[in-house]
Amino acid sequence: MIRSEILATGMYVPPNLFKNEDLSTMMDTSDEWIRQRTGIEQRYWVSPNQSTSDLAFEAAKKAIENAKIDKNEIDCLMLATLTPDHEFPGTACFLQKKLGIPGIPAIDVRQQCTGFVYSMSIADAFIRMGTYKKILIVGAEVHSKGLDRTPTGRDVSVLFGDGAGAVIIGAKELKDPKKDSHILSTHLHADGTYAEELWVPGPGSAFGPIRVEQERLAEGYHLPHMNGKTVFLHAVKRMPEVLQEALTFNNLTPEDIDLFVFHQANLRINDMVAKQFNIPEEKVFNTIQKYANTTAATIPIGLDEAIRAGKLKKGMLVASAAFGSGFTWASAIYRY
């Protein structure tokens, strides 16, 4: 029985560290205000010449190195991002060029904060069908170039950081499902009813006679807009739901899980999810304090950090859940 396993991870964040105090010089905020509402202490933002594919390239190199494979063994590439290098072509193609692995499929996944779990699901299906044997998945974001760093944008701009995380997913013959490393299941959902509660309206084909209008730019259509209360209320509902769905599907309880690596949007959300399941603090691995919300990159960054910190070891059972713009939400259970 062929299943897919995580062979290795990698991550990269740009060199420019911005602590909460640094943001207080740009907008009406403070370290205390940000910590109390989000748990965030700092974030990393790119230099002017860095792009999403640059960050993805560095994370991918680390994952390939840690997997101890030749890059040419990769037969499929997937990049989850909401901050593409360009309108088109897909950013996965720019990453492919930088990695020097032409010819294989290069797929962009545009599912925002759930992009990594959606990508895992697609990769797992490809491998189970025998279509591909080694798939590189990267979640990468450059938010800082699209944030309103004035007092008007405070509620959104304090939340986001730049970074990339990567995993190599490989095919394996599963002999013992209770011991062997593999992805047990993934569970995906969306409800476009709430698409405009967290979005960047433009540029796009939905407004006006042309894609980019000066009037729309002046109105801030190219900046993120969020109904924070609605997003929070849905996140604390949907993440526990989809986590329970994964546990039930696999006949597991929270006590069976060795480590929970959730999407990092807000520490308060993750604390509430953990509380609902009576998950002890030591079994939840959070990185939002250091990196803020890197959307599609948060879970792979968390996995890599947990491995290097000695919190995640081979054979451990891991559960992940994510919620984000769309609205989309998803979960996965996998034995590392």
Structure tokens at 201: 């309206």
Q: What is the mean pLDDT of residues 32-44?
A: 96
Residue 170 β-bridge partners: 5, 134
Name the residue type at position 16.
N
Give yes or no for residue 11 having a pLDDT over 90: yes
For residue 56, pLDDT over 90 is answered with yes
Q: Dig out the tokens for 298 from the structure.
A: 């948060």
Residue 41's Cβ-count burial label (10 Å; 0-12, 13-18, 19+) is middle
Alpha-helix residue ranges (DSSP H) falling in the chain = 20-23, 31-38, 52-67, 91-99, 115-129, 154-157, 214-218, 228-249, 267-276, 288-291, 298-308
- pLDDT band at 146; cut points 50, 70, 90: very high
pLDDT greater than 90 at residue 213? no
pLDDT class for 90, splitting at 50, 70, 90? very high
pLDDT at 150 over 90: no
Residue 208: pLDDT band by 50, 70, 90 thresholds?
confident
Would you place residue 180 in the very low, low, confident or very high pLDDT band (cuts 50, 70, 90)? very high
Q: How far is CA 297 from CA 112, 151, 193, 238, in A?
A: 10, 27, 25, 20
169-206 core/surface letters (b: 16 or more CB in 10 A; e: else): bbbbeeeeeeeebbbbebbbbeeeebeebbbbbbbeee
Overall average pLDDT of the 20-28 stretch: 91
Q: How far apart are CA 241 and CA 205, in angstroms?
A: 34
Cα separation, 94 vs 102, whole angstroms: 11
What is d(CA 108, CA 122) in angstroms, rounded to the nearest whole number? 12
pLDDT score recorded for residue 75:
97
pLDDT interval class at 182 (50, 70, 90): very high
Token representation of residue 39: 């748990």
- CA separation, residue 156 to residues 27, 78, 199 (Å): 11, 27, 11
Q: How confident is the model at residue 68 (pLDDT cuts 50, 70, 90)?
A: very high
State the DSSP string of 171-230. EEE-S-TTTS-EEEEEEEEE-GGGGGGEE---SSTTSSSSS--HHHHHTTTTS-EE-HHH
Active site residues: 113, 263, 293
pLDDT for 17 equals 98
pLDDT of residue 312: 98
Hey, what domains does the chain have and what are their CATH numbers?
A: 2-173 (3.40.47.10), 182-335 (3.40.47.10)
Helix (H, G, I), strand (E, B) or coil at 170: strand
Strands 225-226 vs 317-324: parallel, antiparallel or unpaired: unpaired
* Whether residue 212 has pLDDT greater than 90: no
